Amino acid sequence: MTQNIVATRPATAGPATRWWREAVIYQVYVRSFADADGDGVGDLPGIRSRLPYLADLGVDALWITPFYVSPMADFGYDVADYRDVDPLFGTLDDARALVDDAHLHGLRVIVDVVPNHTSDRHPWFRAALAAAPGSPERARYVFRDGRGADGGLPPNDWESVFGGPAWTRAADGQWYLHLFAPEQPDLNWENPEVHAEFADILRFWLDLGVDGFRIDVAHGMVKAPGLPDVGHADQIEMLGTAVLPYFDQDGVHEIHRAWRELLDSYPGERIGVAEAWAPSPERLARYTRPDELHQAFNFHYLGAPWEPGRLRQIIEESLRTAGLVGAPSTWVLSNHDVKRHVTRYGGGETGLRRARAAALVMLALPGSAYVYQGEELGLPEVLDLPEEFQRDPQRGRGEDAGRDGCRVPLPWSGEAPPFGFGEGGSWLPQPEGWRDLTVEAQDADPGSTLNLYREALRIRREHPALGDGELRWLDGPSGTLAFARERDGRAVGCAVNMGDRPVRLTVGGPVLHSSGTVYRDGDTLELPSDTAVWWELS
């Protein structure tokens, strides 16, 4: 294996020691992580009870999905009160205790903020419906008169992400915009009152001690001027999520610059993370310019096929575009909105082998990585949920569009459901076959996926070459992807075999970690199909 093939050098903005530049952040989908009160739904005390698990796993921070007061039309992403906890998940005191306890365990806490829309039960929207057209109450949202002789047609041809028109008619005949469910009316970010309200919401949670925010629909708050029809403009589909032509308006960046200034006014490097669906890596990079947000989710990487040429192209493009603005790239394989990658990579034994290998590749790349709860257990997508449990509003886009299967509660222990999730069952049923995937079952098995992640995170944390920094491509056999990471006089090689037969590599130093069994004879390593390896480069 030769070296010095290609150099990819992302620029840096300020000291490379900033925690968010190389953090591994664990996503907690609150409903499905751990249930402390026995009602079958995960909650904040449940998360708190499992903080030792997360600290032992070796992650740096946890991102918690919305736990605010909500009627749950979209499982918490329809917020009725941004400054309180829904009783389903606990209390405000539970939130304080969770943040404080996480800090004692050396974990930072990132929470969701949902600024594109509120719940239709939010006091502002109730006041808007009760007020007259043209009133200050309606000016907080996007209300418009309809088209046609009697105003009976929607104001434009926009469609909801969840399917169907993006407009619903109020009782007095006006229409309101909702880019998601009708229960999620869009806010009007041309209104200064909306800006002031969300600045105060951010301060509320920063004062409580959170370390940052994941910004839901960060690309959507500002609407196209004049709300024009889009006609037959193409939609870009990324992992089943539509990047609609009226998203990613330039005006959103003024909001993010104001929020960055607010975050920087607090100690401890509080961060903002954009959930931004953009049509290109160049457009995505705009969200992480030095005076905007710290990170943006790299959905282009999440959607990469299991093919070395395309994967390398996406990695290079991600590093190049992030480097142009001085930001770290981020890497993610799964989240609560897409099918789990064990299933996307083929399912069964093949999908699991590839998922394990993909984990080592992701954790060796420069920048920050996100781990979705349960991927460290090798959980697959649950594809056969009974219809009565399939309640995701995104199913309105099509029978296979629902996200329920990636949100099934975690299996912690035992031989039968609910596998230690809680005493009252689980809000989505767990497969009986998960008995072999519980934390308890995997804990003592050195070859388990759980221990693969634990060891990878330990090496990443302790080895100076991993985390933030540079990447250098290495030459390798057909069907492989290989690169080196170097820093402070130390170097790590990473190679993955994506082909259908074993390959032989020349490695000089000791093997540090591998996703499956590898065979070594002197300086020659046999790497099986769908397997990744880390080794010390001499």
| Rg of the chain in Å (alpha carbons) | 23
Relative orientation angle of helices 92-104 and 192-208, to the nearest 10 degrees: 50
8 A C-beta contact, residue 313 and residue 5: no
Give all strands (DSSP E) within 384-479, no chain letters.
471-473
Q: Quick one: how far is CA 92 from the chain centroid? A: 24
**Type of residue found at 83:** R
**Cα–Cα distance between 107 and 104 in angstroms, integer?**
7
Question: If we measure between CA atoms, which residue out of 288, 326, 295, 333 comes closest to residue 311?
Answer: 333
**Cα–Cα distance between 318 and 525 in angstroms, integer?**
30
Question: If we measure between CA atoms, which residue out of 180, 198, 181, 83 comes closest to residue 140?
Answer: 198
8 A C-beta contact, residue 44 and residue 94: yes
Separate counts of helices (H) and strands (E) for the chain:
13, 24
**Cα–Cα distance between 277 and 237 in angstroms, integer?**
10
Structure-block tokens of residue 392? 């995701």
Q: How many CB atoms lie within 10 A of CB 460?
A: 22
SS3 letters for 481-503?
EEEEEEECCEEEEEEEECCCCCE
Show which residues are catalytic: 216, 275
Question: If we measure between CA atoms, which residue out of 273, 286, 270 comes closest to residue 113?
Answer: 273
8 A C-beta contact, residue 4 and residue 63: no
Q: What H or E segment, with its residue span, contains residue 465? A: none
Question: Residue 63: which residues within 8 A CB-CB, separation 6 or more?
Answer: 25, 26, 27, 28, 110, 111, 112, 214, 273, 370
**Cα–Cα distance between 41 and 62 in angstroms, integer?**
19
367-to-18, 20, 374, 468, 511 alpha-carbon distances in Å: 11, 8, 22, 5, 23
> What sign for the dihedral angle of Cα 262, 268, 274, 275?
negative
Structure-block tokens of residue 336? 């609560």
Which strands sit side by side in the sheet containing 519-521, from one edge to the other? 503-506, 524-527, 519-521
Q: What is the DSSP string of 407-431?
A: -PPPP-SSSSTTTTS-TT--SSPPP
**Cα–Cα distance between 524 and 333 in angstroms, integer?**
30
8 A C-beta contact, residue 132 and residue 170: no
